[in-house]
């Protein structure tokens, strides 16, 4: 007759077989690892980009162009109070200078707007695709804007009185805003489309047949890049 075997005594507690991790926990662990890898890769790319920009800046040392008005005159500025029509004729000659040693500049488009007593009275296309050009390193190039025509604008009594006063003193306080579209050239690489704005505060001489001689002081313009 077979003997009944008693269970063998185990030293310590026995809790059964190990429970494998749940699928959700495995997915969460994989997602955390993937996020960590992506974050480290992104951080490395940011650091490399910053280093590249710094190296480019140190080697190229890019600087914004300089812009001047070297001649200006108004030959007509007549305001009709009955029709509120202004007849005007103004010529401005500009100079653009590229101070960079390694960068050329493409002037693709320049639009100029003229203001008198904070009222725009004229605009002119200084540079269009028809006369756009490339400015070489350390180059200086002329531009010109002709503002001629008629415009309906409203001037109150004090503003109209200022027109008469300016005619008598033979100069007008005019400011011009210019809107640029430019690109840069480094070697054979042409990059970027930038739209800096330029403002020129001018005291423009008024000339006519009775007094042809005028004097205009070259004026440096403010550039907002």
Q: Model's pTM, two decimal places? A: 0.75
The two three-digit tokens of residue 38, written as one number: 């992506």
φ, ψ of residue 11 in degrees (nearest 5):
-80, 115
Distance CA 217, CA 162 (A): 22
Distance CA 42, CA 60 (A): 27
CB 132 within 8 A of CB 103: no
The 10s digit of each residue's pLDDT in 57-106 is 766 678 899 999 999 999 999 999 999 999 999 999 999 999 999 899 99
CATH 2.60.40 holds for 66-209+216-224: yes
The 10s digit of each residue's pLDDT in 151-184 is 999 999 999 999 999 999 999 999 999 999 999 9
Distance CA 176, CA 72 (A): 11
Q: What is the CA radius of gyration of the chain?
A: 36
Domain boundaries, the chain: 66-209+216-224
């Amino acid at each position: 007759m077979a003997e009944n075997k008693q269970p063998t005594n185990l030293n310590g507690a026995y809790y059964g077989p190990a429970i494998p991790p749940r699928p959700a926990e495995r997915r969460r662990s994989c997602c955390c690892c993937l996020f960590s890898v992506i974050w480290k890769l992104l951080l490395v790319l940011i650091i490399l980009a910053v280093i590249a920009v710094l190296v480019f800046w140190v080697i190229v040392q890019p600087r914004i162009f300089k812009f001047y008005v070297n001649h200006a005159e108004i030959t007509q500025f007549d305001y009709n109070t009955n029709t509120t029509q202004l007849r005007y004729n103004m010529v401005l000659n500009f100079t653009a200078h590229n101070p960079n040693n390694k960068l050329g500049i493409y002037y693709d488009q320049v639009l100029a707007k003229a203001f008198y007593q904070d009222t725009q009275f004229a605009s002119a296309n200084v540079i269009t695709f028809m006369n756009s050009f490339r400015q070489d390193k350390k180059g200086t190039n002329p531009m010109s804007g002709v503002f001629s025509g008629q415009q309906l604008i409203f001037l109150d009594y004090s503003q109209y009185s200022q027109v008469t006063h300016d005619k008598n003193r033979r100069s007008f306080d005019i400011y011009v805003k210019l809107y640029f579209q430019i690109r840069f050239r480094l070697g054979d690489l042409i990059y970027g489309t930038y739209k800096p704005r330029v403002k020129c505060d001018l005291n423009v001489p008024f000339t006519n047949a009775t007094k042809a001689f005028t004097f205009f002081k070259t004026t440096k313009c403010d550039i907002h890049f």
